[in-house]
Amino acid sequence: MAELQFFTGTMDSGKSTLALQTNHNHAARGRVGRIFTSHDRAGAATLSSRLGLQHDAIEVDGDFDFWKYVVGALTRGGRVDYLICDEAQFYSPSQIEQLARVVDELQIDVFAFGILTDFRSILFPGSARLVELADRMNVLQVEALCWCGKRATQNARTENGEMVTEGEVIVVGDVDSSDGDALPEVGYEVLCRQHHRRGMTASRAHAVQMIGDPLPFGDSRLG
């Protein structure tokens, strides 16, 4: 029986690497699949891993219809055994429902990969619908680490190294700076819950260490 599987974890937990590996494993057994992504850091229509691996993909925008795409491919005589859906947090709830229909009515496996919550610690609508509909939900065992060494559970957005909690939900960035020690204008960082609550990014922690570590009671941002 086909399944809708959801693989989730924070940034830096290897989701895109696993998506590429999953595709490789199924293709090596003679199965034919399609790869989808949305807002990948490497650009449109590309599934990329931070390890440097990448694969051509089909870009999913707000108007994309998975059901129509798969039915169209089958109608034209194509073969589709499975779908790899990376960055699934950016899909709309209706697109997740289309994926569930592909599984149930066409018996095609769907492997979805994405993070659960945005930089505000609020569930992405697409991820929330996956949690509700997936046959299996798999939390990745590769643990991303906060700058303090604890397990990272939160995704933070930074602007010039300072954590922000307001703004557009979808802003493409990365967790790494490509310009030496210079901080990107917009970036992302994984934090433990404590340091996400306190807005304590790695760069801010370094600055605090340089001037001494004050008690947090008088700083409303650290509450």
Query: What's the chain's length in residues?
Result: 223
Distance CA 49, CA 17 (A): 5
Shortest CA distance to 106 belongs to which of 217, 209, 3?
A: 3
Residue pair 201/191 in contact (Cβ under 8 Å)? The answer is yes
Candidates 87, 97, 105, 166; catalytic one = 87
Q: Please name the residue ranges forming H helices in 114-178.
A: 125-133
Tell me, what DSSP letter sits at residue 220? G
Write out the H or E segment, with its range, that includes residue 210: helix 202-211
Our answer to whether residue 185 is catalytic in this structure is: no
> How many helices (H) and strands (E) in the chain?
6, 11
Distance CA 198, CA 161 (A): 14
Distances (CA, A) of 51 to 12, 113, 175: 10, 16, 13
Residue type, 161: G
What are 187's two structure tokens? Answer: 């970036």
Shortest CA distance to 71 belongs to which of 124, 125, 34?
A: 34
Catalytic residues: 87
